[in-house]
Amino acid sequence: MDPLDRYEPIIDDFAAFRAACERPLGHVARVNTIKTSVERAKEALDEEGVEFESCEWQPGLVKLDGTTTGRTWGAFHGWLHGQEEVSALPATVCDPKPGERVFAACAAPGGKATQLAALADDRGLVVANDRNLGRLSALRFNAERLGVTSMAVTNRDAGNYSLAPFDFEAFDRALVDVPCSCEGTIRKNPDALDEWSRQRIESIAGTQKSILRRAVQATKTGGTVVYSTCTFAPEENEAVLDAVLESEDCRLVEFECGLETRPGITEWEDDRFDPGVEHAKRVYPHLNDTGGFFCAKLEVAG
Amino acid sequence: MSGPNENDGSRFDRLPATAADRAVDGRATREAVVGFWTDRYGVSPAVFDEYSFWEKGAGKVWAFAGEMEGPVEIEALGMTFLRTRQEHWKPTTDAAQRFGEHATRNVIELTREEARRFVAGEDQDIEWEGDWGYLVVAHDVAGEPEPLGVGLYLHDELRSQIPKGRQRDL
């Protein structure tokens, strides 16, 4: 049985969802405003004869026609970074301001963490952490190419993250883009579901809970924590939020985004979740012709 | 183990402000680092006002947009910026791209075709009347010059210093 079949009860127009999952995704690039302006980056693409379209919900995202980002001058200059369209969502929801301290808990290979730095005008501090040393070198390569100077990189387990190397007690914001079963990346990677099993999802969900808990604890009262995955599995999405809402002093808050989305679900199989999970957003491939995604915004209380 | 006067390559230590503040042998100073960019490339010292400078590794200087109490035992802090502890200090490719737009001296502008060869890692015979040594290499993109990286100019030849992993066929 196809693992995605189990979502038929929660996805309207399931046939359209199915059809979208079969279609490959085009190449999308984010303009890195640390090094240039959106206008100049587009001018450079025009100059090279690269055809592109702007993404309506995010003018700094361009869909490239007939080439990959890496083959452009913009990529060499660090003006462009190849990034799946929908993966540009959580950093905009996190919305860091210049001077703030932001934690990117699982940051490699760095698309979202460098976007956080750009949103804060490369002023403040983005602590980009990842447990995997190999992926960390990709993160550092990207951060340097994109000219990020406000980032500190650490190599730890995010689930028991220690602020000991730093001279401050808490972050203003955190982006918790956790490792997940990656069901939503099927359009990019047709093998994404080969390793799928319920057991695997349950095991990843345990890790996700510990990382989100720690991020909430490490964020100051009134601060923002954004939780995201690129999967549809409620066990890794609403169920993780539900568990963390129960153990930590925080709440889910509403947010706007220019994409068409569906609310988080409050029931799944035999489970019922905190009604607050409805503020989370589910992004399905057929709604905006993107990959699949899940994003929630939390406010730390206490 | 490194003694108190030696560089500990495993952590970030802040550069001393001036030579008089130096405790670690051979460590570059903030004054000298800013002075290097001003003297050699004409970059205004004000460009670096909000940056702190750190050494991690032997002579590898990092630029961080902000302040922090050191030493800091982490993987990276800001961006790699300059190679010191060698006869001729050398900016990194990424620093040349990030800060080279402020350079007013020792900037060599290439044609598009020369730029293509430069980023592919090729050495080229190019006329240059200015100083020899490490130059900021730029070309025109979208109406303005944009730095590509660092080239070493010696004996009428511009040697590409773009690291292998950054080289591209464009």
Residues B88 and B121 occupy one common structural domain: no
A60 is written with which tokens? 């700094």
ipTM above 0.90, yes or no: yes
B91 Cα to chain A: minimum distance (Å): 13
Contact assignment for B76 to A151 by CB distance below 8 Å: yes
Kindly report the pTM of this predicted structure: 0.97
Same domain? B73 vs B130? no
Q: Please tell me whether residues B78 and B135 are part of one structural domain.
A: no
Q: Which residues of B100-119 are buried (b: 16+ CB within 10 A; e: fewer)?
A: bbbbeebbbebeeebbbbbb
DSSP conformation letters of B15-46:
PPSSGGG--STT---HHHHHHHHHHHH---GG
Residue-level pLDDT at A113: 98
Shared domain for B153 and B113, answered yes or no, is yes
Within-domain flag for B5 = no
At residue B1, does pLDDT exceed 60? Answer: no
Q: Please report, rounded to a whole number, the percentage of residues in chain A having pLDDT higher than 90.
A: 94
B29 shares its domain with B95: yes
Domain check: are B22 and B87 in the same one? yes
Give dist(CA A198, CA A243) in Å, integer.
18
Last residue of a domain, one of B100, B118, B136: B100
Percent of chain B residues topping a pLDDT of 90: 96
- Per-residue pLDDT tens for A55-109? 999 999 999 998 888 889 999 999 999 999 999 999 999 999 999 999 999 999 9
Domain that holds residue B39: 12-100
Q: Does the pLDDT value for residue A1 go beyond 90? A: no
Quickly state the pLDDT bin for B4 (edges 50, 70, 90): confident
Domain annotation covers residue B3: no
Q: Does A302 have pLDDT greater than 90?
A: no
B70 and B54 Cβ atoms separated by less than 8 Å: yes
Distances (CA, A) of A221 to A216, A217, A301, B2: 9, 9, 5, 41
Closest CB to A155: pick one of B63, B75, B144. B75
Is residue B64 domain-shared with residue B136, that is, in the same domain? no
At A39 the pLDDT is 97
Over residues A146-190, the pLDDT tens digits come to 999 999 999 999 999 999 999 999 999 999 999 999 999 999 998
Please tell me the predicted confidence (pLDDT) of residue A273: 98
What amino acid is encoded at B36 in this protein?
A: F
Record the tokens describing residue A235, joined without a space. Answer: 């066990």
Q: Both B29 and B80 in a single domain?
A: yes
Mean pLDDT confidence for B75-92: 97
Give the number of other Cβ atoms within 10 Å of residue A257's Cβ.
16
Does any domain span residue B1? no
Same domain, B45 and B30: yes
Q: How confident is the model at residue A5 (pLDDT cuts 50, 70, 90)?
A: very high
- Buried/exposed code over A18-32 (b: 16+ C-beta within 10 A; e: otherwise): bebbeeebebbbbbb
What architecture is the A8-23+84-300 domain classified under in CATH?
Answer: 3-Layer(aba) Sandwich (3.40)
Residues B86 and B115 reside in one and the same domain: no
Task: Tell me the pLDDT of chain A averaged across its residues.
Answer: 96
For chain A, the domains span: 8-23+84-300, 26-83
Provide the number of structural domains found in chain B: 2
Q: Which of B64, B73, B141 sits opposite A149 (nearest CB)?
A: B64
For domain A26-83, say whether CATH 3.30.70.1170 is its number: yes
Return the pLDDT at A66: 81
Mean pLDDT of B160-167: 97
* Residue B80 identity: T
Q: Is the pLDDT of residue A6 over 80?
A: yes
For residue B164, give the 3-state DSSP assignment.
Answer: helix
Residues 6+ apart with CB under 8 A from B47: B37, B99, B102
- Whether A150 and chain B come into contact, CB under 8 Å, resolves to yes
In angstroms, the CA B150 to CA A278 distance is 52
| Same domain as B83, residue B16 | yes
CA-based nearest distance A33→chain B, Å = 12
With an 8 Å Cβ cutoff, are B76 and A143 in contact? yes
pLDDT band at A201 (very low <50, low <70, confident <90, very high): very high
Per the annotation, the verdict on A230 as an active-site residue is: yes
Q: Which of A60, A156, A58 is nearest to A103 (CA)?
A: A156
- Is the predicted pLDDT of residue B79 greater than 80, yes or no? yes
Mean predicted lDDT score pLDDT of chain B: 96
Nearest-CA distance from A141 to chain B in Å?
A: 9
pLDDT reported for residue B2: 61
